A and B are shown apart, each in its own frame.
Chain A
């Protein structure tokens, strides 16, 4: 099972691009997709059943859609929970964590409001295509790797 997790708040404009991409993907019996406002510890129950996981998230400093591995840099556990911390929790609580990737999509407007900015909207097709390719390929290389 491959799992796609779109991260973001739909009420903060371009922050909602992760959920938008996750919901646009065509799911199948071997693919599961979900949208979350933020990562929470309970998500390890979904990671436990996944072979691979793709986090889709807005990138305030990004200029292009980029795919990369979630790097194991040791957990920085604080007020917020990132993909690295979630994977580490899965590994410690359940003994293993799936092969994990992150798809970063540029965002420009993170103010209050619904809907993406025109500039962010322009990156959605490319992000969906990149995520679909990740799903269809067993072996993936990170962008720029």
Chain B
């Protein structure tokens, strides 16, 4: 008899999802699916609001990544106003996104994944959390808490509050940065750098064998991300690059506004999360990955000394471009280091304190695309507006969605490797969840296509058998 194993809910991720594992008659894994079971629907109810409202409105998509949505939305608004955003505003937005990368990556690593990594995949589930981590690794926990607090405080000093700061607007930002706040942020960077250096060292010492690093799956895919015009790591602005599994560029220098040339979107009846794919290869062959590992695999270099040294070592350990899902954790730590180094550079730029931070204009274009790199990967906001700036349609391709095919591939690999003859235990199921956790998905950010997804409803009888299946294509 065929069986189904459910992991519901998937824990230590943002949002709500479940995993189903489908076993054949022998008890081996036939298929694995990651279902995102919540729906937010922002693409629909943004319609009818003005482009000026969009940053504050779309910020409410998420309590973890509001900064990402604010910045992508503001950039789409910049395109619709067709204005030259003041240099100070670009620098301030860049600084906020660096703070966002630090705080979000710190949350993912120290709070959500470090319990698995440093307490063990099969350790007592009652202690496999940040509280257990504090007991076993007090110093690491303290450093992680302080690092995330620094990233959050940076956002608050810039935007007035940590969550949902209605600060970036079409044309710039709503207020400049004061010298005292600039100096405070700068004063905290050395401690944050010390924390990430220590953590990187610990991570590399702890996970040094190939076996440990392939535990969450190792497979080839394409990678997508922003890079600077000359190929360096980029998170705000830049051009889109797509590389193959070996790092060879398939698309380079693409204007992000033309993302539809290379990215298509598919849907499945068992998840509210869309399945973006690389259009030239079709669906589902066009699987690609974004986020920390994607960005490290698309860029030629970081452009800062310590992160570049780490990137060189990362590639030496992984024999070039890594396909290992586990390396998302490693890449996340390197990106924190890079973000802190870049913060130093931005903070030393005197243009940062210039009071002119916003360009005003009316509606000068009917379409605007804002693309930037959120902690979890490339984030796309695409708006169509009428002559008054009222949104008539919106398309949001959120970082987590890009990784949907790869997340499903990851859990299938882990499940096939660990479940044989139908036998499994809690530690194995946690490892499968860990395959999702490594991507750090933000599910509440990513589910918006109300009315456009096919839907499958199963009516299950009291004995557990499926009585009826209803399908909407």
Q: Which residues of A contact B (CB under 8 A)?
A: 37, 41-42, 44-45, 75, 77, 79, 85, 88-89, 92-94
Contact = CB atoms under 8 A, between A and B. Distances in A.
Nearest to B128: A77
A77 B384 CA distance: 44
Nearest to A11: B60
B11 A89 contact: no
Nearest to A44: B145
B146 A75 contact: no
A88 B129 CA distance: 13
Nearest to B126: A77
Given A75-B131, A77-B131, A89-B130, A45 B145 contact: yes
Interface in B131-169: 131, 134-135, 138, 141-142, 145-146, 148-149, 152, 163
Closest 4 CB pairs of A and B: A92-B134, A42-B149, A93-B134, A77-B129
Contacts of A41: 111, 130, 145, 148
B37 to A, nearest CB: 15
A45 B63 CA distance: 20
Instruction: Sort chain B's interface into a size bin.
Output: 10 to 19
A42 B130 contact: no
Contacts of B163: 37
Nearest to B164: A37
Given A42-B149, A94-B142, A79 B134 contact: no
Interface of B: 11, 63, 111, 126, 129-131, 134-135, 138, 141-142, 145-146, 148-149, 152, 163
Contacts of B111: 41
B145 A85 contact: no
A4 B126 CA distance: 30
Contact of A92 (B11, B138, B148): B138
14 contacts: A37-B163, A41-B111, A41-B130, A41-B145, A42-B148, A45-B145, A45-B146, A77-B131, A88-B131, A89-B130, A92-B134, A92-B138, A93-B134, A93-B145
Given A41-B145, A77-B130, A89-B131, 20 more contacts: A37-B63, A37-B163, A41-B148, A42-B145, A42-B148, A42-B149, A42-B152, A44-B145, A45-B145, A45-B149, A77-B129, A77-B131, A88-B131, A92-B134, A92-B135, A92-B138, A92-B141, A93-B134, A93-B142, A94-B142
Contacts of A94: 142
A80 to B, nearest CB: 12
A79 B142 CA distance: 20
A44 B141 CA distance: 11
Contacts of B131: 75, 77, 85, 88-89, 92
A101 to B, nearest CB: 21
A93 B134 CA distance: 5
B340 to A, nearest CB: 18
A41 B140 CA distance: 14
A94 B11 CA distance: 26
A92 B146 CA distance: 15
Contacts of B146: 45
Contacts of A42: 145, 148-149, 152
Nearest to B132: A77
B133 to A, nearest CB: 9
